[in-house]
Amino acid sequence: MPSVLITGANRGLGFEFARQYLADAWQVYAACHDPNSASELRLLADASGGKVRIMALDVTDLASVKAAAAELDGQAIDLLLNNSGIIGAKGGQTIRNMDYEAWANVLDVLCGCRRRLSTMWHAASASLS
């Protein structure tokens, strides 16, 4: 059975990806900031017969990524959908008046996490070599 790990799976597009991959009979690793508040995702997981496994994961926090990798316990992932993202400061952003800290946070969630998530990917695939 193919497997997918989806970040930001508690709502929005991430949740819809989780729902559709489950419907296509994939093993879904549904990662989110706070599993306790992910009520819709928990309902999906509860009804999935173990096909949706919820994992705590903050993509900006290397310790959190390493903990999630350890939780996978060498289980290989076929597909990583790095869906998590933030939109940053809304309104009033111009080239002369930019909230650069907010912009850096947007890039960290969208791009910086690639390096951290590769830790997870390699940890999972190491068991295959």
Ligand X SMILES: NC(=O)c1ccc[n+]([C@@H]2O[C@H](COP(=O)([O-])OP(=O)(O)OC[C@H]3O[C@@H](n4cnc5c(N)ncnc54)[C@H](OP(=O)(O)O)[C@@H]3O)[C@@H](O)[C@H]2O)c1
Where on the chain is the footprint of ligand X (CB under 6 A)? 7-8, 10-14, 32-34, 57-60, 83-86, 109
Nearer to ligand X, 51 or 85 (CB): 85
Nearer to ligand X, 25 or 68 (CB): 68
Instruction: Give which of 25, 126, 122 is closest to 66, Cα–Cα.
Output: 122
Q: How far is the CB of 31 from ligand X (least distance, A)?
A: 7
Report which residue type is found at 93.
Q
Q: How far is the CB of 127 from ligand X (least distance, A)?
A: 24
Nearer to ligand X, 25 or 70 (CB): 70
Contacts 24+ apart (CB under 8 A), 46-51: 48/22, 51/22, 51/25, 51/26, 51/27
